[in-house]
Homo-oligomer: A and B are copies of this chain.
Amino acid sequence: MRLTDKGVLIVLSGPSGVGKGTVRAKVFEESHHRLEYSVSMTTRKPRVGEENGKDYFFVTHDEFKARIKEGRFLEYAEFVGNFYGTPLDYVQERLEAGMDVMLEIEVEGALQVKKVMPDACFIFVAPPSMEELHHRIVNRGTEDPARVEGRMKKAEVEIGLAHEYDYIVMNDTVDNAKNRIMAIIDAQHSRSERVLEGYGKKVLGLGE
């Protein structure tokens, strides 16, 4: 028996290099939750093997801009000439259907979401230390030294915004971070505001 009818919106964010994509994949691998990943919308062209509606919703620039005007994004950003965004209607439909929906987005996008849906659950994935973050960025081997420093500076700014989030989850190991996130999602379903809306109202006759 579920205590709440509507799903929880979970916004997973954190500095790039912290490993939030890996943690997110682990959560979905082991999740017994009714949890869905929110598919983003983009104007960039599909890469080989990418499927529309699975990897991204692929749309034209005109379609994307029309959606912006109509206020149909929870958040969006432009990145090297292309737009990326979270379709609001899709997320709302899934939440209403009782599914928990997880977004994995940049810090800037997360703060946009907070303005629109302050009741969502905001989780910041943090490195165990700044040294370890540096280590992880270097070890990817895809960045030259100048870009590593640029990413570290950006990470420092983003970590400085961690207080805007409801939870801070340290990614010391992927399993630890996954366990922390799963506990947070479970706990959301027992939050009294939510329970009072569903089971509290219907079964216990509260808040009427």
Which A residues fall within an 8 A CB radius of B? 1, 3, 123-124, 126-130, 159-160, 162-163, 165-170, 172, 179-180, 182-184, 186-187, 189-192, 195-196, 199-200, 203-207
| Partner pick for A160 among B1, B199, B206, CB 8 A cutoff | B206
Distance of A142 Cα from B190 Cα, bound (Å): 31
This protein's copies in its complex: 2
Give the one of A126, A127, A199 with max B CB within 10 A: A126
In the complex, what residues of B have CB within 8 A of residue A200's CB? 126, 162, 168
Question: Secondary structure at chain A's binding surface: helix, strand, loop or mixed?
Answer: mixed
Are A3 and B203 touching (Cβ within 8 A)? no
Q: A170-B1, A204-B159 are in contact. Are A165 and B192 (CB under 8 A)?
A: yes
Distance of A192 Cα from B166 Cα, bound (Å): 5
